[in-house]
Chain A
Amino acid sequence: MHNALIVAASEGFWDGIWHGIISWQFLQFVVAFLSFFGFVLTSATLLVLAERKIMAWMQDRIGPYHTGPGGSLQTVADVAKLLLKEDIRATDTDKAIFFLAPSVFLAPVIAAFAVLPFSPYVGLPGTALATGIVYLVAMSSLDVVGVVMAGWGSNNKYALIGGLRAAAQMISYELPLVLALVGVIMLTSVLDPSGSGIGTISVRGIMDFQVSAQYPGKGIGIWDFIFQGFTPWSWFFLVQPLMLLIYYTCGLAETNRAPFDLPEAESELVAGYLTEYSGMRWAMFFLGEYGNMTIVSAIATTLFLGGWSGPGVSYLTGLGSLGWGFLGNILALGYFVLKIYFLCFIFIWIRSTLPRLRADQLMQFAWLILIPTTLVNILITGGIYLVMHEIGLLNDGNAWFLVVLGVVNWLMLFGFIRLVGRAVVASTRRAQAPAIRARQRAAVAAQLAERVSTPASVATGTPQ
């Protein structure tokens, strides 16, 4: 023991510490970790404020405006209040499960941030993970455990119903969510420049397909500045718009946001699985939910909207100077966060527009509409490639494949929207069957003598 210490304390030990722990890479890791951890938490508070302000704007009211300039410190005050609140537990709750549930819910959300590429250089080591998508999906499905634990441990009937609803919902929507991503992964395998036909499920890898493509470099400064690494025509949402829509819809359901917020439907289940929680434990659920929202938006951004790519990023980072490279990174970070928040804005928009679905309609939507649609999409994507490849259209590049697939998918998008509308009409018509029969009966009755319901004395207007 002593010997080991003495040996370690010799020259090599300090050297090792200096090079191993206090190295440039390690510092980078610490900075990245802290900033991303901070991003999860601050993003949640920002989103809460943004949600309240945006919804207030849409609902013709002011929203929070007392705390800080224009109410900007409202969420800070709220968080402080939540931290200082008493930690309450009802007597008959299952103590261990009740206390653990918020952590079980929040931990995967924070863990999922590890694989998100924020800019060309800034990213946790997880960004290099070759199985990024699988990791993300795994993390987002772990959430349901926390929700069920909360629902069961609270020993409250509303919480129990909420927890069970959440379990059914989150598991059902996990399937179309993953299947929607498969379409994109198939694209990467087609577009693979090495021609090996092996795609990638690394988040960074999928993003690179949308960044590095199709700008030959004109040599004109301003064009290069804008379009180097910023090629919106190669973003995957143009080729697979329907999958973006379905992914986004499933994301709404995964994060329990309106119109899929049944597990915590306040008008039905008081607060669902959150009923018995208060103070910091409740805040952890809340945080996790908004963190989830950020993650769903971030995945949609990286997979469909080109991630951090935007005018100037690749140009600046490609200059090779540290200062410009730093600026390029900041720009990339800005674009990424901007795209995330744009998608979050749509989350909020949807919440203030739509009413809530019913539990059975929710399940029907997932199993009868979303899953078949995603499966058909996979079939069509593969089929088109196969046919075009066999005909020999793809000998000089994949451009035609992308065009055809894009056209087909946009048509499918409009078809899908129509289909959903028709399905709703059909199902409500079925539900209305007794009413329809009654209407027919009423039509028959109308042909008979009309029942006069007004006595003559009243109809003539004499006072009662």
Chain B
Amino acid sequence: MVTNQNPGTFSDVGESEEGIKTQEMLLNMGPQHPSTHGVLRLVMTLEGETVVNCTPVIGYLHRGIEKILENRTVMAGIRYMDNADYLSPMLNETAYAGAVEQVMGIEPPKRAQYIRLLVSELQRIASHLVGVGTYLLDLGAMTPILWAFRDREGILDLFEALGGSRFNVNYIRVGGVLHDFPPHWLAECEAFLNQLEKNMLELEMLITGNEIFEARTQGVGYVDQQQAIAYGLTGPMLRASGVKWDLRANRPYGAYREVPVKVVVRQEGDCFARYKVRMDEIIESIRLCHIAIDRMPGGPIGTRTPIALRPARGETYFAIESSKGELGVYFISDGSEYPWRAKLRGPSFVNLQILPELLRGHKMSDVIAILGSTDIVLGEVDR
């Protein structure tokens, strides 16, 4: 007969009235699983299909990025930041370069700041598109992810024209950016954004009004306002719970000091709100991109920095609003070419903490719905 009785995977919890024993089942979800967004492993205790307990096990994608940064010169380290949150490399680079600039006390020229804003918002759109697309794929809809990736492809093409690489762009530099725009790049970007606006309407029409989608997400994975703050959530996770906190607006950096951001907030605090915040942020990002293109100042794209970059002794914390939340870099320099320490505050890592709390008591299918709505990137969780 079937030998399902491996020790430790089933444990008796009680007997029903008819004398049938009920058992809790230990289920390993991941690290190889279609919808754990990489290599997250969830050790879940199930009773029937209800989750009794859940322990996320992380570390399967640990590449020691923080240690690598210590062993690379500051300029060489920027490239490794691409791999932390591999869905938004531009934002990671901005955070790292920003931290170095802050410890050196230099300010990039206006044009560089606006270019950074433009590519950051494009990157945010790309990241949110992946988040929404994969979320819908987790829920069983196949079309949205392909439409989302089609649009993301346009952004990657723009990045390729800009930095020479589609994914790990390595474009931001300390004190500025790598290249100025190639010819016609801004016009192409404008055309792409116009097309994207139409495509977003189409995507919204496909997903948002859908009764099944609403039934799957509304009221599921509810995070209280207090709870969200207590767990240190940031980004769409926090804003979906009704807390108006966006570093672009509350602690503006770079060109955001001149370009005001309309912060998207929703009060529901459930999976649907998190999805909707992402969708609305894409719209908002498109608007910011248009503003950046319109106001793009002339001038140099970077300050002159020495080839052997030696930040002065000192330490600083610089945080930007990444697509997932507050992406901070704690940078300690001992005056050499190498950072003494560069600690990343990855929003995915912090947002993941609330997962066991959220999953308890939900059905097996909701595990996917909730995990997808947190939109974590394991590259940033494990670093």
Contact = CB atoms under 8 A, between A and B. Distances in A.
Interface of A: 55, 58-61, 92-94, 152-153, 155, 157, 160-161, 258-259, 261-262, 265-268, 270, 351-361, 420-421, 424-425, 427-428, 430-435, 438-439, 442, 453-454, 458, 461, 463-464
Contact of B363 (A157, A351, A360, A442): A360
A136 to B, nearest CB: 28
B291 interface: no
Contact of B140 (A58, A261, A434, A438): A261
B150 to A, nearest CB: 6
Contacts of A94: 1-2
Nearest to B107: A463
B219 A356 contact: no
Contact of A258 (B140, B215, B225, B257): B140
Interface in B260-276: 267-270, 273
B210 A453 contact: no
A356 B252 contact: no
A340 to B, nearest CB: 23
Interface string B230-251: 0000000000001011000111
B368 A268 contact: yes
A357 B2 CA distance: 31
A454 B268 contact: no
A351 B141 CA distance: 8
Given A94-B2, A420-B211, A61 B242 contact: no
A458 B33 CA distance: 44
Contacts of A155: 2-4
A434 to B, nearest CB: 5
Contacts of A355: 136, 139-141, 210, 212-213, 216
Contacts of A458: 250-252
B34 to A, nearest CB: 5
Contact of B138 (A59, A92, A267, A433): A267
B181 to A, nearest CB: 26
Contacts, number: 151
Contact of B212 (A152, A259, A435): A259
A265 B365 contact: yes
B141 A359 contact: no
A245 B205 CA distance: 23
A439 B267 contact: yes
Given A431-B220, A464-B318, A453 B138 contact: no
A268 B51 CA distance: 13
B50 to A, nearest CB: 10
Nearest to B25: A157
A356 B140 CA distance: 5
A228 B270 CA distance: 59
The 5 closest A-B pairs by CB, nearest first: A356-B140, A431-B219, A355-B141, A432-B219, A267-B35
B27 interface: yes
A170 B109 CA distance: 65
Given A351-B142, A432-B270, A438-B269, A464 B210 contact: no
Contacts of A356: 139-141, 212, 216, 365
A350 B197 CA distance: 25
Given A432-B218, A438-B242, 11 more contacts: A55-B142, A259-B212, A267-B368, A270-B33, A353-B143, A355-B136, A355-B139, A356-B212, A428-B219, A438-B269, A453-B244
B140 A153 contact: no
Interface in B116-174: 136-143, 146-147, 150
A361 B33 CA distance: 24
B382 interface: no
26 contacts: A58-B143, A59-B143, A59-B146, A59-B147, A94-B1, A155-B3, A157-B27, A259-B140, A351-B142, A352-B142, A353-B206, A354-B210, A355-B141, A356-B139, A357-B215, A360-B363, A420-B211, A424-B214, A428-B218, A431-B219, A432-B218, A432-B270, A433-B219, A434-B224, A435-B219, A461-B252
Contacts of A259: 140, 212
A229 to B, nearest CB: 40
A261 B140 CA distance: 8
Contacts of B146: 59-61
A358 B216 contact: yes
Nearest to A269: B364
B102 interface: yes
Nearest to B366: A358
B340 interface: no
Contact of B250 (A267, A353, A453): A453
B338 interface: no
Nearest to A358: B365
B188 interface: no
A353 B211 contact: no
A358 B363 contact: yes
B142 A454 contact: no
A354 to B, nearest CB: 6
B251 A438 contact: no
A182 to B, nearest CB: 27
A431 B250 CA distance: 33
Contacts of A59: 142-143, 146-147
B316 to A, nearest CB: 9
A428 B222 contact: no
Interface string B58-77: 00000000000000000000
B253 interface: yes
A464 B138 CA distance: 40
